Amino acid sequence: MNRQNRYSPWLKKNTAALLVGVAVLLLLAGGFLLVRKDGQEEPSYQVGGADAVRVRDGAELMQTLTYTRCAHTVTRRVTAPVELYGKTLEEVAPLYPAWQITEFSSSEVQMSQRPDLFCPAHLVLMTSPEGKLCVYRNKYGDALAMEKELGTDVSALPAAVQEELTVGIGFDTDEELSGWLESMES
């Protein structure tokens, strides 16, 4: 009996299971290649050298901001500025010092940041530099802009509230803000 005849019935019967097993092993091997020894994912970009990945014309720039004060996340997706075209990771990174580049390819640059702010969805009650109570809003994603001064001198409020107002108190709606202000007046 030759070898081919002896295993043919077994192969015919178990081909599907054998293929599934091989596929699972390949997936596992691929997973091990993507994860470093310390458990962190390898970045999806190539660093250095003449063959380094370069941003191509029309690539996308995706910026993800996770605001620490409210834990909301905002993602901006735009066409990358022309100044990035043709640049490598080493050339792009210094242009965005406040950002962590998380993915870099010729067609997309992804970066993230965790600003210690409230997101644009919130009204923020804070003390102005002059000591007045003011309403601010994060209009551009990375900084607060004053919307209106309320005219109340912060020194008239309890010390604990004054301390909270130095970093800002966030409100989801005008009604919540008005209710808080009324409770302070009583």
The residues with which 61 forms a beta bridge, in sequence order, are 78, 109
Give the distance from CA 180 to its chain's centroid: 31
Cα 80–85–89 angle (5° rounding)? Answer: 90
Least confident residue range of 49-58, 66-75, 145-154:
49-58
Please state the CATH superfamily assignment of the domain spanning residues 60-113 in this structure: Bypass-of-forespore C, N-terminal domain (3.10.20.420)
Q: Can you list the alpha helix ranges (DSSP code H) found in 35-167?
A: 89-92, 159-167
Contact (Cβ atoms closer than 8 angstroms) between residue 161 and residue 172:
no
Instruction: Look up residue 56 and give its two tokens.
Output: 């191509």
Architecture of domain 123-185: 2-Layer Sandwich (3.30)
| Segments of the chain assigned to CATH 3.30.70.1740 | 123-185
Secondary structure (3-state) at 173: coil
pLDDT per residue over 19-40, tens digit each?
555 454 444 444 433 333 444 4
Give 14's pLDDT tier (boundaries 50, 70, 90). Answer: low
% of the chain with per-residue pLDDT over 90: 63
- For the chain, the straight-line distance linking the first and the last C-alpha, in angstroms and rounded, comes to 100
pLDDT at 32: 39
- Mean of the per-residue pLDDT values for the chain? 82
pLDDT per residue over 59-112, tens digit each?
999 999 999 999 999 999 999 999 999 999 999 999 999 999 999 999 999 999
| Segments of the chain assigned to CATH 3.10.20.420 | 60-113
Spatial CA neighbour of 165 closest among 115, 130, 124: 124
Give the pairing type, strands 60-66 and 73-79: antiparallel
**Per-residue pLDDT for 54 more than 60?**
yes
